[in-house]
Amino acid sequence: MIARPDRSEAAPYYFNYIDRVPGDDIRDVLRGQEEEVTAFARVISEERSRRRYAADKWSIRQVLGHINDCERLFVGRAFWFARGFETPLPSFDQDVAMAAARCDERSWNSHVEEFVRVRGATRAFFDDLPAEAWVRRGLASGNPFTVRALAYLTAGHVIHHLDIVRTRYLDA
């Protein structure tokens, strides 16, 4: 079991995501979330996936593209710190990434399949992580993180965005 991160393991802002994660072992959460997200996404049609809840907001495709990008980013940071690198990592501008990704030009199914592949790599990384690596620390975007906090952030970020899709895109 991988204990929840304490408040010293990430900047306060990131606990908006971390605190949303249920359960006592992040590896179990990541595994269950893969099935949950895939099942949820499979009921969204190609047409519906292009929906925006306001003109200046991302489409559902872009939201899933953002989830995939951020998962890669969070796990990349976790890898860096887990392997003992001490160099601080730069910030990530989600709007720059989204503009370059061209998510609306790809099929919805391609985004769903990408999530499955990215999450598989995420699970493989965290499943095989040595015990001492979970508490290693580093700086990213000028903020402190432990590897454990980044794992919880990965899952909490998905929860956050799925809630937005449910409430603002699908329930509206």
pLDDT single digits (tens) 120-129:
999 999 999 9
Three-state secondary structure call for residue 137: strand
pLDDT single digits (tens) 124-165:
999 999 999 999 999 999 999 999 999 999 999 999 999 999
Residue 7, pLDDT > 90, answer yes
Phi, psi of 21 (to 5 degrees): -80, 120
pLDDT single digits (tens) 77-99:
999 999 999 999 999 999 999 99
Round to whole Å and give the CA distance between 28 and 34: 10
Q: Residue holding tokens 């990349």?
A: 76
pTM of the model: 0.96
> 77: closest CA among 21, 158, 25, 152?
152
Residue 4, pLDDT > 70, answer yes
Domain boundaries, the chain: 25-170
Round to whole Å and give the CA distance between 71 and 67: 6
CB 74 within 8 A of CB 145: no
Mean pLDDT of the chain: 96
pLDDT of residue 78: 98
Round to whole Å and give the CA distance between 125 and 120: 9
pLDDT single digits (tens) 31-56:
999 999 999 999 999 999 999 999 99
Classify domain 25-170 at the CATH class level. Answer: mainly alpha
pLDDT of residue 1: 82
